[in-house]
Amino acid sequence: MTNHWVDIKNANVVMVMGGNAAEAHPVGFRWAMEAKNNNDATLIVVDPRFTRTASVADIYAPIRSGTDITFLSGVLRYLIENNKINAEYVKHYTNASLLVRDDFAFEDGLFSGYDAEKRQYDKSSWNYQFDENGYAKRDETLTHPRCVWN
């Protein structure tokens, strides 16, 4: 969880994934129910099990165990392709606009710096490009080929 439980009461969408908040965190889950009942929030539950939390969900997605990342990738793809993201937030408050170093690569399932003989990585290329003041360079158009977004 990345935010305080009480903040959830202000949400318009609450997604619970891979857990049963109604039983595991009943005191905290009341804030999700408050958002649902007083804020007209949509409660989405993503879990292979139909739990007490899922029973009060507006949307229940019974994914298969182990498919969490695939599911989330699909959600992200849908949101991006249908322009359902807050682009200003993404540009200014995530690493999406930062430029990675020119020597960073990901090919054939391996990141740059892999030493097959030692079976380990040299992570020195795993960083951002920096300007003369030591700040990470940005491309707020999100079109630069070295941009994290791409």
Closest alpha carbon to 47 in 39, 37, 38, 57: 57
| CATH number for the domain harbouring residue 47 | 3.40.228.10
Give the domain range for residue 15: 5-84
Q: How many residues does the chain have?
A: 150
Query: Taking 70 as the threshold, does the pLDDT of residue 14 lie above it?
Result: yes
- What residue type is assigned to position 79 of the chain? L
Q: Same domain for 9 and 80?
A: yes
Closest alpha carbon to 15 in 77, 81, 63: 63
The 10s digit of each residue's pLDDT in 19-65 is: 999 999 999 999 999 999 999 999 999 999 999 999 999 999 999 99
Q: Same domain for 58 and 127?
A: no
Structurally, the chain folds into a number of domains equal to 2
The rounded distance, in Å, linking the Cα atoms of 52 and 64 is 18
Q: Same domain for 49 and 98?
A: no
**Residue 138: helix, strand or coil by DSSP?**
strand
The rounded distance, in Å, linking the Cα atoms of 68 and 70 is 5
